[in-house]
DNA sequence: AATGCGTGGAC
DNA sequence: TGTCCAAGCAT
């Protein structure tokens, strides 16, 4: 789309209100952008900030990470959550080192082929790190466009073809402008057009927004299902892995048994951690974070 | 396509 | 205080 009435207010707002985040600074490398995007998958900015700095200080390049062990990546990941991301980022560093001469690829397709990099992250890195023109469709952008364009409070559960078409159609023609637009819409969603308590009075799209014009109607339809957490395998996995993260070397199984009372669930959770490559079983009932690349890095 | 996958802060 | 939420991905 050459020009949309949405562009100017969003770009002007961003110029004034954008947060000074380290992965947006001019000295941020494509590797830094990639690391930030993976960390930001389901983890809030405030918790990513220190983890990002420590990660890049330790592993300033993909090849530096690839030279370490997957277990160290999991340990350094700390409490960001969803530790399989650490494993996939480690595997991505190997792929980048071996197939891309150590440079984070610039093409969407090459990025998309990396482990742990889906549609959103591939578009985000291509756009933010390399200034390309892509529809960057994350939960923030989906929410903003659903409200502004469709006049509906929340986007559908799963991303639809129509949403992709809308986002694509709204992209400015010039790649640099499209990249700025992408990050700017995301920022509006993160700071103003938030999920629970949108600040419409401060919104650059106040006038244009169909949802605001309609009087901010509530969401109709079936109530949104949330996954429970207390007592789940996920919680159990989290406790087990925390023991290993915070221990040097191998840990006797008794240490793991101590953090979860139900033995059936505990064994199941431990099995899935091993299957995921997050935990390495050793002889005589000992366990540790993984040390070998074979189970983690895709071959071919 | 619906699920499983961590963690902690905000209210 | 329990519920909701936070720049998704893989299967």
Which nucleotide minimizes the distance between its C1' and the CA of A238?
B6
pLDDT value of residue A297: 58
Q: Domain check: are A35 and A123 in the same one?
A: yes
pLDDT at A227: 80
Which residue's entry shows tokens 């694509």?
A168
Would you say residue A24 lies in a domain? no
Nearest CA to A41 out of A150, A119, A107 is that of A119
Task: Tally the domains of chain A.
Answer: 3
Q: Give the pLDDT of residue A219.
A: 84
User: Do A206 and A243 lie in a common domain?
Assistant: no
Q: What pLDDT digit, counting tens, does each position of A184-225 carry?
A: 999 999 999 999 999 999 999 999 999 999 999 998 776 667
* pLDDT at residue A298, as a whole number: 57
- Secondary structure (3-state) at A287: strand
- A4-8, A48-52, A82-86, A221-225: lowest mean pLDDT where? A221-225
Q: What pLDDT score does A149 carry?
A: 97
Q: Is the pLDDT reported for residue A292 higher than 60?
A: yes
DSSP codes of every residue in A212-241: HHTT-PPP-SSPPP----TTSHHHHHHHHH
Please state, rounded to an integer, the average pLDDT across all residues of chain A.
95
**List of residues 6+ apart from A272 with CB closer than 8 A:** A233, A237
Q: Based on the fold, state whether residues A85 and A105 are members of the same structural domain.
A: yes
A161 touches strand B (CB under 7 A): no
The answer to whether strand B lies under 7 Å from the CB of residue A24 is no
pLDDT tens by residue, A55-77: 999 999 999 999 999 999 999 99
Crossing angle of helices A30-39/A84-99, nearest 10°? 160
Which residues of A are annotated as catalytic?
37
Asked whether residue A253's C-beta has any atom of DNA/RNA strand B within 7 A, the reply is no
Nucleotide nearest to A142 (CA to C1'): C7
Confidence band (pLDDT; 50, 70, 90) for A295? Answer: low
Residue A179: inside a domain: yes
Domain annotation covers residue A10: no
Identify the three-state secondary structure at position A286. strand
Asked if residue A68 is part of any domain, the answer here is yes
Same domain, A40 and A115: yes
Same domain, A171 and A146: yes
- Domain limits at A255? 233-288
Show which of A70, A93, A128 is a domain's final residue: A128
CATH code, domain with A240: 1.10.10
Examine the domain organization and report whether A97 and A56 are in the same domain. yes
Query: Is A150 domain-assigned?
Result: yes
Mean pLDDT of A75-86: 98
Q: Are residues A92 and A43 in the same domain?
A: yes
Query: Residue A259 pLDDT more than 60?
Result: yes
Q: What local confidence, expressed as pLDDT, does residue A236 receive?
A: 98
Residue A24 DSSP label: G
A237 touches strand B (CB under 7 A): yes
Q: Contact at 8 Å (CB) between A71 and A289? A: yes
- Measured in degrees and rounded to the nearest 5, phi and psi for residue A155 equal -70, 165
Q: Residue A300 — pLDDT band, cuts 50, 70, 90?
A: very low
**pLDDT for residue A3:** 81
Distances (CA, A) of A296 to A5, A278, A290: 47, 9, 9
In the complex, which nucleotide's C1' lies nearest to the CA atom of residue A183? C7
Q: Which of A213, A247, A266 is the last residue of a domain?
A: A213
Give Cα A284 to chain centroid, integer Å. Answer: 37
**Boundary-marking domain end, from A128, A160, A178:** A128
Q: Give the pLDDT score at A294.
A: 60
Mean pLDDT of the region A18-30: 97
Strands A286-288 and A251-252, bridge-based pairing: antiparallel
Protein-to-nucleotide distance from the CA of A99 to the C1' of C4, whole angstroms: 42
- Give domain status of residue A158, yes or no: yes
Summarize pLDDT for A119-154 with one digit per residue, the tens: 999 999 999 999 999 999 999 999 999 999 999 999
Question: Distance, angstroms, CA A52 to C1' B9?
Answer: 19
On whether both A123 and A148 belong to a single domain, the answer is no
Are residues A33 and A56 located together in one domain of the fold? yes
* For range A32-44, the mean pLDDT: 98
Predicted pLDDT at A265: 97
CA-to-C1' distance for A230 and C1, Å?
14
SS3 label, residue A92 = helix
In a domain, A23, yes or no: no
Residue A273 lies in a domain: yes
The set of strand C positions with any atom below 7 Å of a protein CB reads 3-10
């Amino acid at each position: 789309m050459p020009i949309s009435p949405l562009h100017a207010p969003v770009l002007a707002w961003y110029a004034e209100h954008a947060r000074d985040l380290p992965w947006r600074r001019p000295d941020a490398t494509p590797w830094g952008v990639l690391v930030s995007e993976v960390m930001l998958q389901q983890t809030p900015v405030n918790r990513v900030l220190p983890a990002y700095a420590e990660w890049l200080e330790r592993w300033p390049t993909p090849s530096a990470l690839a030279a370490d062990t997957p277990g160290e990546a999991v340990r350094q990941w700390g409490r960001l959550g969803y530790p399989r991301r650490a494993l996939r980022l480690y595997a991505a560093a190997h792929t980048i080192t071996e197939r891309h001469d150590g440079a984070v690829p610039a093409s969407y397709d090459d990025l998309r082929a990396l482990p742990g990099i889906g549609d959103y992250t591939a578009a985000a890195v291509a756009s933010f790190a390399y200034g390309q023109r892509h529809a960057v469709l994350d939960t923030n952008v989906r929410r903003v466009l659903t409200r502004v364009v469709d006049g509906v409070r929340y986007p559908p559960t799963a991303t639809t073809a129509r949403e992709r078409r809308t986002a694509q159609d709204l992209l400015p023609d010039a790649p640099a402008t499209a990249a700025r637009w992408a990050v700017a819409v995301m920022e509006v969603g993160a700071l103003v057009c938030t999920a629970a308590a949108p600040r419409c009075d401060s919104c650059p799209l106040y006038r244009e927004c169909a949802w605001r014009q309609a009087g901010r109607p509530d969401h109709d339809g079936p109530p949104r299902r949330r996954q429970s957490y207390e007592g789940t395998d996920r919680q159990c996995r989290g406790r087990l892995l925390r023991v290993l993260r915070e221990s040097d070397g191998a840990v006797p199984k008794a240490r793991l048994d101590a953090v979860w009372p139900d033995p059936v669930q505990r064994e199941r959770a431990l099995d899935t951690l091993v299957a995921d490559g997050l935990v390495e079983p050793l002889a005589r009932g000992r366990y540790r974070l993984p040390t070998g690349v074979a189970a983690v890095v895709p071959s071919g």
